[in-house]
């Protein structure tokens, strides 16, 4: 069952609001209402309606200002917006269209026309078609002069349109009848087509119908030109597929504004399609990169634990900075948790299915082997009476390489089971790293979190970096496990990137002055003293463009503040760096209560 379209009506007149709501709900739409522009903007942000009907005159924020804000925001500019005017005032119409409105309707007009326009916009918003192949190479409208086709048997009106639109920067192509217009669209790409309703030969509604059924032109907006504002002509034109209609006697400024509105909407639609295609490409590339990373992690091996190295740390106190990070950590880790949950679900279910099938196949192969052995015993008993049959069976066994097949089946089933066990270990490592529960306070062994993180970044370590561990006797810690693992991830990745060709990272856990400490020491390039005071600033980075966002340490610092702890750093150029995470066994009370009330 399809979800009903949501239409937002912003109207301060209670009477007219009720009328619109009644008609729209009768058509099956879900209606959202607001009486002020400010309230309407809030609903646009929260609800993302499929279409907006907005009165021009509103208390507080006017309709044109609301329209500008909607169209300036990338998340809402694609939403069709129809401006409602009281009596069709020219100033209101042109101002609304110039502000970005896609159309306007006079409130005193026929309600059937409004309903038809609503259906028109909503059907256009859900229609999906393959990208047409134009007669000439397509290029973005912003890189060429926007082109308008006017089809009209009245030469004076064609000249009028040309003189009206040419100074606005449009290229106007003229066609004297429907056949000439249909021929023109085969040669050029147009951003808008104006079609006269009444012409000799092909009538305007038939031309419109053909344009809208052609893959090459169905997305090009069509404005139907009529000599009179007859309701039946308007309905016939819109039913034929026209996106708008204009009475030829309409004020030229209004005509100009409606043309601009149509071309602007087509540009937004083309841009949205381009962005969607680009996002699909990026998603495919991201999936490829992730698959390569997972393959590298599967091959990674943990280095043997080496001799423990005791390091004397020189701690420095830092002043806490208020409101330092711009990231909302809960949302980031929730997204990671959902990702890993999806991986675990999508892999574990088919994994269990395949594993069970392998067990069944293994059992069936053993049964078949028993049957084959018994079969050979029986056949051997007939060797003297039917030598021809025995010879044929022996020949068939040699032809099918039966003994080789028996060995290969057993070996390959065993190999497949071993591969499935390796996949299960990868999923377990991912789940241990993210914990899938960063929104909940839990008491955990942080050593397990460090080890899970090391497994995740194994592709950075490989054979060039030696990991030395010195885990002391420390109690379990009350914390947000997912967030704490993110701190370890950021610090360990930075340490790996700071090391050139080869080096060592030493991880040490210990108790000091009533606190639990985790130190990560690398033998990398070190940090100059003049930069030490900046490394926790949001967006500060010494990496090349594209290699880092400058948010890793800032994010980690904010997470430690949430835990009532801190991060200490000691570094010098050429001597490596030491980052120390300082934690306490219990979380601050405010964070405990926050977790209990907010949940994951």
- pLDDT by residue (tens digit) across 366-420? 777 777 777 777 777 766 666 776 777 777 777 767 777 777 787 877 777 777 7
Tell which residue, 50, 12, 15, 48, has the closest CA to residue 33.
12
Say if residue 423 is in the same domain as residue 444.
no
Predicted local distance difference test score (pLDDT) of residue 568 = 93
| Inside any domain, residue 554 | yes
Name the one residue in this structure whose structure tokens are 């790996």. Answer: 496
516 lies in the same domain as 455: yes
Same domain, 564 and 540: yes
- Other C-beta atoms lying within 10 Å of the C-beta of residue 366: 11
Nearest to 164 by CA among 180, 182, 152: 152
Q: How far apart are CA 561 and CA 552, in angstroms?
A: 14
Q: What is the pLDDT of residue 307?
A: 57
**Domains contained in the chain, number:** 4
Residue 173 has phi, psi (to 5 degrees) of: -110, 135
Q: Helices (DSSP H) in 248-310: which residue ranges? A: 252-299
Q: In this structure, is residue 269 part of a structural domain?
A: yes
- Tell me the β-bridge partners of 465: 503
Distance in angstroms between the alpha carbons of the first and the last residue of the chain: 32
| pLDDT band (50, 70, 90) for residue 468 | very high
Whether residue 233 is found in the same domain as residue 355: no
Q: Look at residue 190 and give its three-state secondary structure.
A: coil
Return the CATH number at 577.
3.30.565.10
Average pLDDT over residues 317-334: 44
Residue 474's contacts (CB-CB under 8 Å, 6 or more residues apart) are 446, 447, 509, 510, 511, 516
> Residue 133: pLDDT band by 50, 70, 90 thresholds?
very low
Q: Which of 274, 303, 329 is the last residue of a domain?
A: 274
Indicate whether 264 and 367 sit together in one domain.
no
321, part of any domain: no
Do 447 and 394 belong to one domain?
no
My answer on whether 578 and 476 are in the same domain is yes
Q: 237 and 154 in one domain?
A: yes
Q: Which two tokens stand for residue 403?
A: 């003994």
Phi/psi at 80 (5° precision): -60, 140
- Band the pLDDT of 339: cuts 50, 70, 90: low
Whether 450 and 593 map to the same domain: the answer is yes
**Tens-digit pLDDT profile for residues 177-189:** 989 889 998 999 8
Q: Looking at 415, 431, 447, which one is the last position of a domain?
A: 431
pLDDT at site 354: 79
In a domain, 330, yes or no: no
**Six-digit token pair at 153?**
């048997």
Could you tell me if residue 12 is inside a domain? yes
Q: Please say if the pLDDT value at position 75 is more than 90.
A: no
Sequence-distant (6+) residues with CB within 8 A of 69 are 41
Q: Is residue 587 part of a domain?
A: yes
> Do 46 and 17 meet the contact criterion of CB atoms below 8 Å apart?
no
For residues 181 and 257, state if they share a domain.
yes
Last residue of a domain, one of 274, 306, 326: 274
Domain with 93, as residue range(s), is: 6-126
**Same structural domain for residues 532 and 580?**
yes
The single residue listed with the structure tokens 């099956």 is 28
Q: What is the pLDDT of residues 244-262, one digit of tens each?
A: 777 776 667 777 777 777 7
Whether 314 is covered by a domain: the verdict is no
Token look-up 């090009």 returns 220
Measured in whole angstroms, how far is the alpha carbon of residue 423 from the centre of its chain?
27
Q: Are residues 424 and 442 in the same domain?
A: no
Task: Note whether residue 282 is domain-resident.
Answer: no
What phi, psi does 496 have (nearest 5°)?
Answer: -60, -40
Model confidence, pTM: 0.38
Per the rule left: phi > 0, alpha: psi between -120 and 50, beta: everything else, 538 is beta
Nearest CA-CA partner of 177 in 146, 156, 198, 147: 198
Looking up tokens 């959202």 gives: 32
Q: What is the pLDDT of residues 279-294, one digit of tens each?
A: 888 888 787 777 777 7
């Amino acid at each position: 069952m399809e979800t009903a379209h949501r239409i937002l009506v912003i109207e301060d007149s209670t009477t007219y609001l009720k009328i619109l709501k009644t008609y729209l709900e009768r058509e099956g739409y879900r209606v959202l209402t607001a009486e002020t522009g400010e309230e309407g903007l809030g609903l646009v942000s929260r609800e993302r309606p499929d279409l907006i009907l907005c009165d021009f005159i509103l208390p507080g924020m006017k309709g044109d200002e609301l329209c500008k804000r909607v169209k300036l925001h990338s998340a809402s500019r694609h939403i069709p917006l129809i401006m409602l005017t009281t009596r069709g005032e020219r100033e209101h119409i042109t101002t609304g269209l110039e502000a970005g409105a896609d159309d306007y309707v006079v409130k005193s007009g026929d309600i059937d026309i409004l309903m038809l326009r609503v259906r028109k916009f909503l059907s256009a918003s859900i229609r999906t078609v393959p990208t047409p192949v134009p007669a000439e190479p397509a290029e973005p409208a912003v890189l060429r002069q926007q082109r308008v086709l006017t089809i009209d048997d009245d030469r004076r009106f064609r000249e009028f349109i040309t003189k009206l639109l040419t100074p606005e920067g449009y290229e106007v192509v003229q066609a004297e009848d429907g056949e000439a217009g249909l021929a023109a669209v085969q040669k050029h790409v147009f951003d808008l087509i104006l079609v006269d309703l009444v012409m000799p030969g092909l009538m305007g509604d038939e031309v419109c119908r053909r344009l809208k059924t052609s893959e090459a032109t169905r997305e090009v907006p069509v404005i139907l030109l009529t000599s009179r504002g007859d309701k039946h002509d308007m309905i016939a034109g819109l039913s034929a597929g026209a996106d708008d209609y204009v009475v030829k006697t309409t004020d030229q400024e209004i005509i100009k504004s409606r043309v601009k509105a149509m071309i602007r909407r087509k540009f937004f639609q083309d841009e949205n399609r381009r962005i969607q295609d680009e996002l699909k490409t990026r998603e495919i590339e991201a999936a490829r990169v992730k698959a390569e990373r997972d393959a590298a992690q599967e091959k990674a091996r943990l280095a043997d634990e080496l001799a423990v190295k005791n390091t004397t740390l020189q701690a420095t106190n830092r002043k806490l900075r208020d409101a330092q990070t711009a990231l909302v950590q809960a949302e980031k880790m929730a997204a990671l948790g959902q990702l890993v949950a999806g991986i675990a679900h999508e892999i574990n279910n088919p994994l269990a299915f395949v594993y069970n099938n392998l067990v069944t196949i293994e059992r069936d192969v053993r049964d078949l082997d028993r049957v084959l052995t018994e079969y050979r015993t029986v056949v051997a008993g007939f060797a003297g009476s039917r030598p021809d049959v025995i010879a044929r069976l022996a020949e068939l066994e040699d032809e099918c390489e039966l003994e080789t097949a028996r060995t290969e089946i057993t070996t390959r089933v065993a190999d497949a089971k071993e591969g499935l066990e390796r996949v299960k270990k990868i999923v377990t490592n991912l789940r241990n790293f993210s914990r899938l529960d960063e929104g909940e306070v839990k008491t955990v062994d942080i050593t397990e979190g460090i080890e899970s993180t090391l497994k995740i970044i194994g592709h950075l370590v490989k054979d060039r970096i030696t990991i030395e561990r010195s885990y002391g006797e420390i109690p379990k810690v009350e914390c947000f496990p997912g967030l704490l693992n993110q701190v370890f991830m950021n610090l360990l990745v930075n340490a790996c990137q700071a090391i050139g060709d080869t080096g060592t990272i030493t991880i040490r856990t210990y108790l000091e002055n009533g606190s639990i400490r985790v130190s990560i020491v690398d033998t990398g390039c070190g940090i100059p003293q003049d930069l030490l005071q900046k490394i926790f600033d949001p967006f500060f980075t010494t990496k090349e463009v594209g290699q880092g966002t400058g948010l890793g340490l800032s994010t980690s610092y904010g997470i430690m503040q949430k835990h009532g702890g801190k991060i200490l750093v000691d570094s010098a150029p050429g001597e490596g760096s030491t980052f120390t995470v300082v934690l306490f066994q219990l979380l601050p009370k405010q964070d405990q209560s926050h977790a209990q009330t907010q949940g994951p």
